[in-house]
Amino acid sequence: MTAEELRESLLCSPRNGLLELTSEQRQEMENYCKRYAAFMDACKTEREATAWATREAEARGFRPAVPGMEVKPGDKIYLNNRGKSFLIAVVGTESLAKGANICAAHVDSPRLDLKPQPLYEDSEIAFVKTHYYGGIKKYQWTCVPLAIHGVVCKKDGTEVTVTIGEDESDPILVVSDLLIHLSADQMKKTLAEGILGEQLNVILGTEPLEGEGADLVKLNIMSLLNEKYGMVEEDFRTAELTVVPAGKCREVGLDRSLLGAYGHDDRVCAYAELEPIFNMDTVPTHTAVCILADKEEIGSVGISGMQSHAFEYFMEILCDGQGVKLSHCFANSFCLSADVSNAYDPNFPETCDRRNNSMLNYGISICKYTGSRGKGGASDASSELFNKIRTIFNRAGVLWQTGELGKVDQGGGGTV
């Protein structure tokens, strides 16, 4: 054999997938990205993602999971877990005793949560205090347009949805920063120290209410919230309000080849799970299960995180509906944990092992293991499992690549 023939048969040669697309495939990709962008605009919090998924599931004939229900091939079933996480399944022709094919992603993202007693006035400026959620670079949150999303459970028992800063007619909010002329001391600090967590106070207003007494700016803000949402200050204590970047998903680059939006981690995987299970037009052999989890950014804790029993509860309903033991189902199931990887960035080459890093346009990135440093906290797939994925992708013509989350000892991470 010639060197070229040996190279073709023996070596692995990554390739840019965009160069291989037909015009029809490119249009299909563009259409998918538009649907994904619309999903991103509608789902900036896990609550919004769960509500969106529930509406779409019901419109497609999925029905809620109910203990004791009969479960048969072709059934479409979902579970809305307290409005914060979502599970969905299409029941296969094989018994659940032979396992299910499961994919899990998360729909929470780093953000600023309002504290239980957030509203205050200082120097005739009204602020709300926040407690950041998940891993953030705090300096990035200053002087960028912000919006408030969430729900308020009022003392009369009613619940109101709050969204401020997304409509074109809405005001936006900001966290202030020092102007450069006063930043000499600040600029000597590390990036982690330049803006502290207790400085992430969001400006709500500066106009005082006409009248006498203290805190007239705060009172004016409270009056506006009462007029629009019927809120009183005590309602903040039981509210779940979140500050996120304002604005819609936008195309990036003169060639419009990228999408820029808040919350790609991990709604990019959540949507990639949801669309195919929503549009499944044949009954699968093995039951297909999709999980949209909450609380991944802080350790998958709580009643809506993967450490809760929500997933087991959902699967138990399905298994009970077929007279199958849950443990037997799990013993034979297959699961992919879907989350974001990092693409190689030549601006920061020192963070990555280029030979083992994902690249833009080179296909879906498969990380065999997660964890940090010595694979601490890793989920490490076996060779047999990895080969199963390779076989499925190669047979289907899916372009894929392998990746790691940066250099050894540089960083790392995990997921649900």
DSSP 40-82: HHH-SSHHHHHHHHHHHHHHTT-EE--TT----TT-EEEEEET
Do 78 and 63 meet the contact criterion of CB atoms below 8 Å apart? yes
Please tell me whether residue 6 adopts helix, strand or coil conformation: helix
CB within 8 Å of 34: residues ≥ 6 apart: none
pLDDT of 296 reads 93
Q: How far is CA 256 from CA 33, 85, 259, 336, in A?
A: 11, 32, 8, 30
pLDDT at 79: 98
From CA 412, how far away is CA 108, in angstroms rounded?
A: 19
For residue 352, what are the contacts with CB-CB under 8 A and spacing of at least 6? 342, 344, 345, 406, 407, 410
Contacts of 230 (CB under 8 A, 6+ apart): 154, 158, 160
pTM: 0.94
Residues 393, 400 contacting (CB under 8 angstroms)? yes
**What helix, strand, coil percent values describe the chain, rounded to 5?**
35, 25, 40
Pairing of strands 146-153, 159-164: antiparallel
What are the CA-CA distances from residue 4 to residues 7, 53, 334 (Å)?
A: 5, 50, 38
Q: Which amino acid is at 282?
A: T
pLDDT for 264 equals 96
Read off the DSSP letter of residue 99: -
Whole-number Å distance between alpha carbons of 323 and 306 = 25
How many Å apart are CA 148 and CA 167, to the nearest integer? 12
* pLDDT value, residue 373: 84
Q: Does the bond joining 266 to the residue before it have cis omega, within 30 degrees of 0?
A: yes
Longest dimension (CA), the chain: 93
Q: For residues 337 and 414, what is the distance between their CA atoms, to the nearest angstrom?
A: 10
pLDDT digits (tens), the chain, 416 positions:
899 888 888 888 888 999 999 999 999 999 999 999 999 999 999 999 999 999 999 999 999 999 999 999 999 999 999 999 999 999 999 999 999 999 999 999 999 999 999 999 999 999 999 999 999 999 999 989 999 999 999 989 999 999 999 999 999 999 999 999 999 999 999 999 999 999 999 999 999 999 999 999 999 999 999 999 999 999 999 999 999 999 999 999 999 999 999 999 999 999 999 999 999 999 999 999 999 999 999 999 999 999 999 999 999 999 999 999 999 999 999 999 999 988 999 999 999 998 899 999 999 999 998 888 888 878 888 999 999 999 999 999 999 999 988 888 887 778 88
**Number of H-type helices and E-type strands within the chain:** 9, 19
* Residue 274 · residue 56 · CB < 8 Å: yes
pLDDT of residue 7: 87
CA-closest candidate to residue 70, choices 281, 239, 242, 317: 317
Positive or negative, the Cα torsion across 275, 276, 282, 288? negative
How far apart are alpha carbons 33 and 259 in whole angstroms? 8
